[in-house]
Structure 1
């Protein structure tokens, strides 16, 4: 089944409330229902859909936090990516990340770079991002559960700092 990206709306609240994460992944991400409760106006929640069902979630963010990741003022931060447990291993996260550049280009036209951080212990996430075009910047930051790699995906041909 193919996936699609869509801005969050209340029609997905039940799917995201019933979202399950494997125990070993809980340390690396925020449960979608918890993330939705504490959204700020600088955060745009995004649903990963398979058919009409929300099977994944992440947040695109344009805030002061970006300064920890990049000096590029046209960048957006991707945070809290997850796929519900029953749908993992089916390639949905990879499909979503492959759709991301075009989708962000339409939904956030001023964005020319997507940045994120991934815990050094989270090899599966690092491999996903690397396989879908993100590059390790070599920068490291301290996150809630240890050291994190800063990664980026260039969207437009421009000079990056």
Structure 2
């Protein structure tokens, strides 16, 4: 029995496309993240972008994000073994149920399993997106004081060290 409210798996076009196209976000959230449909279009053109869906324990697709390997200048840090977390969203109708937090808690193990070369997860979060900042800090991301100017203002760069076992 999976005790987590959600689980992660790679995007499968046949299963997930329609559901993700129907995702809704609040207007203030759209300012800070891409809707899954937009992120999927970009990922389709870049073999280093890996779309991931967040499923509820019942198997319903409730959230989405992209892991970006070899992100180059987008990476925000000087670590060739880092992976970038982009475009995290949870469908508006599913928010407040713990899916994003559960997914982020599972993310290090997911990265360890599928990207054994990766030793760090990095993301940029808008300075005005306090809800997302709280989430990332709660699940163990670290704010080392790095910032950059993003498309809609100042962004904080957060880091998560992926520990290797064995």
**Shorter-normalised TM range:** over 0.9
Residue 128 (structure 1) aligns with: 135
Q: Is the 8 A contact 2:5 2:98 kept in 1?
A: no
What does the per-residue CA deviation read over 1:37-85, in whole Å, with 9 as the maximum and x for residues that have no partner?
A: 1211110000001122211000000121344x11111000000000000
SS in 2 for 1:16: helix
Residue 23 (structure 2) aligns with: 19
Distance 2:42 2:80 in 1: 24
Residue 143 (structure 1) aligns with: 150
Distance 1:26 1:85 in 2: 11
Residue 154 (structure 1) aligns with: 161
Q: State whether structure 2 residue 52 is matched by structure 1 residue 46.
A: yes
Spell out the pairing of 1:1-161 with structure 2 (5 A cutoff): 2-10=5-13, 11-39=15-43, 40-50=46-56, 51-62=58-69, 63-67=71-75, 69-156=76-163
Q: Is the 8 A contact 2:10 2:52 kept in 1?
A: yes
* TM-score normalised per structure 2: 0.91
Distance 2:90 2:51 in 1: 14
After TM superposition, the runs of 4+ consecutive aligned structure 1 residues lying more than 6 A away are none
Worse-superposed segment, 57-66 or 141-150: 57-66
CA shift, 1:102, in A, is 0.6
Unaligned regions of 5+ residues in structure 2, if any? none
Q: Is the 8 A contact 1:138 1:149 kept in 2?
A: yes
Q: Is the 8 A contact 1:12 1:53 kept in 2?
A: no
- Number of residue pairs aligned between Structure 1 and Structure 2: 156
